[in-house]
Amino acid sequence: MAGLAVNVDHVATLREARKVNYPEPAAAAIAAETAGADGIVVHLRGDRRHIQERDVRIIKSIIKSKLILEMASTSEMLGIALDVKPDTVTLVPETREEVSTEGGLDLVTHEAGVKEMVNALQNAGIKVSIFIDPDLDQIKIAHKIDADMIEIHTGSFCDAVTEREKEREFSKIVDAAKIAHKLKLNVNAGHGICYNTIKAFKGLDEIDEFSIGHSIVARSVLTGMEQAVRDMLSLVKAL
């Protein structure tokens, strides 16, 4: 049965919109855990647009499940990760202009640098996941550089408009999940998944964990965090 890791970045987005000290992402993390989340995800961006370093440290110190830190492959982030010691680091690409992460990390271009990062993190006892597009070449390199897991970028599928486009994008995810699983990589999936698109993953048992943020935080504004997480968990458990 797949797990659910809840990303609380957008609780911080709401706080940073007014530069005040509420709402508190750590409180959202506790509520998500109380509702049954298998892990908490935060993305510490270079531009600090939502999550701040203090959020990462506080969440790490109070949660009982696991902390997954999404970060770019930079020396600044490596220093923070080695200090905070999250359970897992997910390496993601990052550009200043993007609204959110726009695609997977291109391992064809960045293999050497990412490999160094993977080694440094693993030597400190941190598991490493790499966020990649559902593409065979990317999976092969993730395997070659000894990543512990991959996270398949599901954004193109979730954003697809026509049925044809949806089918095409989803079949890439299915192929990628099956190949990565065969290579004994743990397989996670995330980006853009909502209470509707999650249903498409029924029967795709190769996926170990979903990483979902925006749709859950958006629902939590109306229902509260615990209920929003419970609603998503019941869909994930029904897959």
Q: Which residues are designated catalytic?
A: 43, 70, 191
Cα–Cα distance measured from residue 16 to residue 27, given in angstroms and rounded to the nearest whole number? 16
Contact segment (CB under 6 A) with ligand PXP among 15-23, 24-32, 169-177, 187-195 equals 187-195
Footprint of ligand PXP on residues 58-77 (CB under 6 A)? 70
Contact segment (CB under 6 A) with ligand PXP among 132-140, 175-183, 188-196, 224-232 equals 188-196
Question: Is residue 86 involved in binding ligand PXP (CB under 6 A)?
Answer: no
Work out whether 209 is an interface residue with ligand PXP (CB under 6 A): no
Contact 208, 3 (CB under 8 A): yes
The correct pick among 73, 90, 138, 186 for binding ligand PXP (CB under 6 A) is 90
Q: Which residue, among 181, 204, 179, 182, has the nearest Cα to 193 in the 3D structure?
A: 204
Which positions ≥6 away from 79 have C-beta within 8 Å? none
Q: In this structure, what are the phi and psi dihedrals at residue 188, rounded to the nearest 5 degrees?
A: -110, 170
Which SS3 state, helix, strand or coil, does residue 141 take? helix
- CB of residue 101 vs ligand PXP: minimum separation in angstroms? 4
Q: Which of residues 136-165 bind ligand PXP (CB under 6 A)?
A: 151
Backbone angles phi, psi at 7, to 5 degrees: -90, 125
| Interface with ligand PXP, residue 186, by CB under 6 A | no
Q: At what angle do helices 107-123 and 136-144 cross, to 10 degrees?
A: 30
Show contacts with ligand PXP in window 31-50 (CB under 6 A): 43
CB 162, min distance to ligand PXP, A? 21
Query: What does the alpha-carbon distance between residue 180 and residue 129 come to, in Å, rounded to a whole number?
Result: 12
Window contacting ligand PXP (CB under 6 A); options: 18-26, 140-148, 176-184, 213-221: 213-221
Q: Is 44 helix (H, G, I), strand (E, B) or coil?
A: coil
Binding site for ligand PXP (CB under 6 A): 7, 9, 43, 70, 90, 92, 100-101, 131, 151, 190-193, 211-215
